[in-house]
Amino acid sequence: MKSIPLRILAITLLKELGLASLLLLGVSFVVFVILYAAPGDPFSVLLEGQLPSEQALAGIRAAMGAQQSWYGQYFSWLHNVLGGNFGTSLHSGLPVAGELVKVSLNTLYLTLGSMLVTLCIAVPIALYSSMRGHAVAISWPLTMLGYVFSALPVFWLGYIAIYVSVHGFDFFPLSSSGASDGNGWLYTLVPVLVLGLGSGTISEVIRYLREEMSRVMAEDYIRTERAKGASVWRHAFKEGLLLPVSEIIAAKIPFILGGAVIVEQIFNWPGMGRMAWQAAQDRDFPVIMGIALVAAIFVRVGSLIQRIVYTAVNPQGARD
């Protein structure tokens, strides 16, 4: 493979995009149906603080123009979204699209950062323990450590992190608290670390990479090359590292987004998870729908990137 065949890439891309839009449609529909089945009128939440009378509720519905059947509501939502209009939050009145952009960027930073943390820990451990001839005495405790972090409840880990940074290192790891001295960004590393360590993915990444790496190393091709004394690094890197890493990242996005719900609450992170939690409590339909869509887009983009990497590395496989 001298150059990446563009045609195949383009076809992959188109296929994935088509699939992605179908999936987004499915996601939005499922979320809508669940929301519709939930008790609690979203409009009654607006009268929180007093009990809604039937009359007041009817008045609100009329004012907000929501008197359609459920599928009518879904299709009008869909129609608006296709026109780029995600509606406005029932609760704050702010346009959902603008809010989503803000919070999703924050969450993107948190999740990407934590994935990086996960990989920085998991990849060396996996590589080390998949190589032959290495002492179990070293790789074993490392693997164990990775497993231990994955088995801790993430919010508890967050509390420990805050307790330790306050009492041990004399700083308060909330993004908003240290902005004045220019080192504010440093504090954002703590939640990133906590999510990276505690999202429960390290053990799986280690395991998966180790499997893949040892499988690749055991391939006939590598054995022959090795016997000839040639370098097998290139092939092993692509097949044993690049592919599995891109696969695991793509597959773990929904998982890490879930962890972000918790970490964002603890570290006061103005992200999507916190917004989702609040919106679920407020029955803020447009916000929940928007977040579900964006989360699904994250997942699909991850999978798209993974497909592209795969096609680039292994054009034959992609053609099949």
Partner 1 sequence: MRRSTRVKKYIQTSGEVSDFSKLPLHKKFSIPDLLYVGYGLLIVFLVLVSYVLGAFNLLPNDPQQINMDMLMAPPGTGGHLLGTDFMGRDIQSRLILGIQAYFLPGLLAIFISLSIGIVLGVLAGYRGGYAETVITYFTNLVDSFPRLVLILLVIAAFKPDIYYIMMVMGITGVPAVANAIAGKIRVLAQKNFIEAAIALGLRTRVIILKHILWYNCRALLIIQATLGMGEAILLETSLSYLGFGVQEPTPSWGNMVQSGANYFMQGNFWPSTAPALAILFTILGFNLLGDGLNNMLEGKRSR
Partner 2 sequence: MKQISIIVVLALSVLGFVAGESQAADLKKTTRPNGGTLSYGEYGRPATLDPITSNEMISMRLSELIFNGLVGISERQEIVPELAQRWEASKDGRTYTFFLRKDVTWHPKPGEEAKPFTANDVVFTYNIMMNPKTITPLKVRYEFIEKAEMLDEYTVQFTLKRPVLNALAKFSFKIIPRHGPSNPLYLTREDNFVQHPIGTGPYMLKNVTADREIVLVANEKYFKGRPHIDQFTAKPFADQNILTQALTFNAIDMIVLVNPRSIAEIQGDKRFILQPYNALSYSFFGYNLRNPLLADKRVRQAFGYAVNRQEMLDAFFNGQGTIISGPFAPGSWAYNLDVQPMPFNTQKATDLLREAGFKPGADGIMQKDGKKLELTLMVPIEKESEAVKRVVLAFQNYLKNIGVSVKVEFKEWQAWKENVFADHSFDIIFASWVFDDSADISSLFHSAEIGPWKNNFGSYSNPEVDALIVESKLTLDHEKRRTINRKLHALLADEAPYTFLWTLTNYSAYHKKLQHVAIHPYKFFSYADDWYIPVAAQK
Residues that bind partner 2 (CB under 8 A): 38-40, 44-54, 56, 59-60, 63-64, 88-94, 102, 106, 159, 162, 166, 172, 174-177, 264-268, 270, 274, 277, 281-283
Q: How far apart are CA 164 and CA 177, in angstroms?
A: 17
Q: Give the nearest distance from C-beta 189 to partner 1 in angstroms.
A: 21
Q: Binding mask 247-266 vs partner 1 (x if CB under 8 A, - otherwise)?
A: xx-xxx-xx-xxx-xx--x-
> Which one, of 230, 240, 213, 55, lies nearest residue 134 by Cα?
213
Q: Which is nearer to partner 2, 74 or 267 (CB)?
A: 267
Q: Which of partner 1, partner 2, none does 210 bind, CB closer than 5 to 8 A by kind?
A: partner 1
First to last CA, the chain: 16
Q: Give the nearest distance from C-beta 62 to partner 1 in angstroms.
A: 26
54 exposure class (CB count in 10 Å sphere: 0-12, 13-18, 19+):
exposed
Interacting stretch for partner 1, rule CB under 8 A, among 58-66, 185-193, 225-233, 293-301? 293-301
DSSP output for 67-110: -S-HHHHHHHHHHHHHTT---B-TTT--BHHHHHHHHHHHHHHH
> Which one, of 196, 159, 193, 191, lies nearest residue 174 by Cα?
191
Q: Which of 10, 14, 38, 179 binds partner 1 (CB under 8 A)?
A: 38
DSSP output for 295-312: HHHHHHHHHHHHHHHHHH
Is 304 among the residues that bind partner 1 (CB under 8 A)? no
Cβ distance 161 to 194 under 8 Å?
yes
Q: Give the nearest distance from C-beta 151 to partner 2 in angstroms.
A: 23
Q: Which is nearer to partner 1, 96 or 162 (CB)?
A: 162
Is 140 among the residues that bind partner 1 (CB under 8 A)? yes
Cβ distance 143 to 125 under 8 Å?
yes
Q: Which is nearer to partner 2, 44 or 214 (CB)?
A: 44
Q: Give the nearest distance from C-beta 72 to partner 1 in angstroms.
A: 20
Q: Which is nearer to partner 2, 183 or 281 (CB)?
A: 281
Q: Give the nearest distance from C-beta 67 to partner 1 in angstroms.
A: 22
SS3 61: helix
